[in-house]
Structure 1
């Protein structure tokens, strides 16, 4: 039964009970004290059902609007990945290709569908394969970004020198489950420079820095992409009802910008004192090194957006809250003696907006988690997650 039909039937039932109750109350031959108590309770409960149905309808409408906004955001980031000027692919920890964009298919001279489920080692020249396997084994146990220059062999084609940037990605339980690869064709004179570059130092040493205080809105220029050197930035939009919707968190070493979204309303707010580096899109176009560095960071924002999109797909508010806390634990959690502490404070209103529900509901659910000993708060009201049980 859909929500609209449920509301219609609830309203019809309530009207019938109201008419029956009014009729029985005015009949002269029926003393008021003879009206069945059960009838009075039924009338009262039908009113509660009607109110609950209306609230359910409004929450469902809000959930659909939020899901639509997040889906548009996810699609935009996917397009940035798919049509990026550099090759990008995702493998499992053993190097088996799971995703590849158009540039990778072009560089390796193979249709995308033939790349999926093949080992990336198959495209490494034979003399380098053994050392490359060792690199993959080391990456599967490390969080460090690795820069490699290798000789790649095309699918039924020529070989060429390529610069690979690879980083291991952990799931919400902290286990490494995939490797992200940035692949670029390099000329002989570029090999040494790219293989020795330090991505983060390049961005911090060669570009300017702007500082914003906690609570400030960060200006969004369509020609500027922001790189976060220090701090945390909240990315949000607004739905038709005027309520704020959390769509992402840009932490240290991440990027964001107006040109990275298709949402008509997009806002960036400093959740702490932040240091940001502005990067002009025209610079990216004429500086291959910037493109080489920024593409993995754009992919990182895409993955985070998909995580927030998954929140809207949970029907129960409890499940949406549980999923949000898992994301925040992974994104901004820091280990303390009692568990994992959020590095910034989130109000119940912030959490309610992210979960597409009311502040009152979140306050009740958070209180329940606290009573169960799953969460607590420090002296600065920062949330500490002690443990969260697994959910389907």
Structure 2
């Protein structure tokens, strides 16, 4: 049923009951003690229904607003992926291409729709295909990013030397769901052995490390990007009602910037003592290896934003809370005896903002999960998500 129609019917019912109750109360020939108790309770219940309907309406409006904000964020990151200066593929675990950006299509000299459904191995020179299949089997067994120097054979045109950077994407059950492939052409004038480049060392060498204490707001420079060297930051925006909305978590080796979002209000807050490195976009533009290193990190932020968007799309608060806890477990969970400990402390207000609900509701649901043995807390009030399955 449409929520506005439901509210109108609830208000009409309440008004009719109020009129009937008032009329029955003033009729001189009906003693007050003869009014049925059930009628009084019905009137009271209708009032509760009316209030509940109004609250449901406001929560639904806030949820729609949050979904619109997250969708705008997701679209912005997709645009960054599509217009990236390097080629990018997403394949299934067998290497079948599912997505490709514009640069990848240009390097392969083919329309994007011609690449979808083809094996990425068939884009490699015939002499190297067996070697790549062997490399792919090893990649699937590891979580490390792998750089491969190959001879790329476009669907049309001459072959050329290229670097394929491969990363494995796994679900919460550690099952491989897809592979991300970054494609860069190697020009004959400079062919660095990118497989020997230490990404973290390259990003941090000869650059100033900025430190912020837990709870501090992190200044955002639109002409540069922050790289997280140590610690954790919360990325958020605010609704028209003034309520904070969690947009993402930037942990070690991740990047964030105000220029990477179209939201008018965007804030970064240190959830722990944090060390950051600023990288100017001008430097990125003239240093190809920086785009090679940073594009997968930008893509990871896109995937995380989509995860938060999926949480906001769940209809029930219980489902939103469950998926948020699983996301926190995946992103910042630390293995401990009996489960996974969330590495920073989240208040019920923080969790409520991420789940698009009230702090009171989260307090009640968290208490229920704790009684069921699905979560617990350590001495510092950090959430521990246990390995116990819910009882049937």
TM-score, length-normalised on structure 1?
0.97
Contact 1:230 1:275 in 2 (8 A): yes
Aligned to 1:136: 136
Aligned to 1:104: 104
Contact 1:89 1:97 in 2 (8 A): yes
Aligned to 2:31: 31
Aligned to 2:302: 302
Aligned to 1:82: 82
Aligned to 1:386: 386
Deviation, structure 1 residue 209: 1.1
Aligned to 1:376: 376
Aligned to 1:65: 65
Contact 2:146 2:195 in 1 (8 A): no
Bigger Cα displacement from structure 2, 34-43 vs 74-83: 34-43
2-side partners of 1:218 and 1:71: how far apart?
A: 24
Aligned to 1:256: 256
2-side partners of 1:12 and 1:389: how far apart?
A: 45
Contact 1:312 1:356 in 2 (8 A): yes
Aligned to 2:359: 359
Deviation, structure 1 residue 58: 0.3
2-side partners of 1:275 and 1:366: how far apart?
A: 32
Deviation, structure 1 residue 387: 3.8
Contact 2:338 2:387 in 1 (8 A): no
Distance 1:388 1:262, change over 3 A: farther
Contact 2:373 2:388 in 1 (8 A): no
1-side partners of 2:131 and 2:46: how far apart?
A: 72
Bigger Cα displacement from structure 2, 318-327 vs 266-275: 318-327
Deviation, structure 1 residue 230: 0.7
1-side partners of 2:387 and 2:11: how far apart?
A: 42
Q: Secondary structure at the match of 2:117?
A: coil
Aligned to 1:327: 327
1-side partners of 2:303 and 2:136: how far apart?
A: 22
1-side partners of 2:174 and 2:52: how far apart?
A: 39
Aligned to 1:126: 126
Runs of 4+ deviating beyond 6 Å: none
Task: Trace 1:207-218 onto structure 2 (pairs within 5 A).
Answer: 207-218=207-218
Count of residues in correspondence between the two structures: 390
1-side partners of 2:12 and 2:131: how far apart?
A: 74
Deviations 1:210-248 (A, max 9, x none): 111100100001001000011110000001000000000
Q: Secondary structure at the match of 1:169?
A: strand
2-side partners of 1:6 and 1:155: how far apart?
A: 58
Task: Trace 1:268-283 onto structure 2 (pairs within 5 A).
Answer: 268-283=268-283
Deviations 1:58-114 (A, max 9, x none): 000000110010000000000000000110111111111111100000001111111
1-side partners of 2:250 and 2:57: how far apart?
A: 33
Contact 1:344 1:382 in 2 (8 A): yes
Aligned to 2:55: 55
2-side partners of 1:310 and 1:190: how far apart?
A: 43
Q: Secondary structure at the match of 1:109?
A: coil
Q: Secondary structure at the match of 1:30?
A: coil
Q: Secondary structure at the match of 2:205?
A: helix
Deviation, structure 1 residue 274: 0.6
Distance 1:387 1:269, change over 3 A: same
Aligned to 1:182: 182
Bigger Cα displacement from structure 2, 369-378 vs 191-200: 191-200
Q: Secondary structure at the match of 1:190?
A: coil
Q: Secondary structure at the match of 2:193?
A: helix
1-side partners of 2:33 and 2:140: how far apart?
A: 76
Deviation, structure 1 residue 388: 7.4
Aligned to 1:313: 313
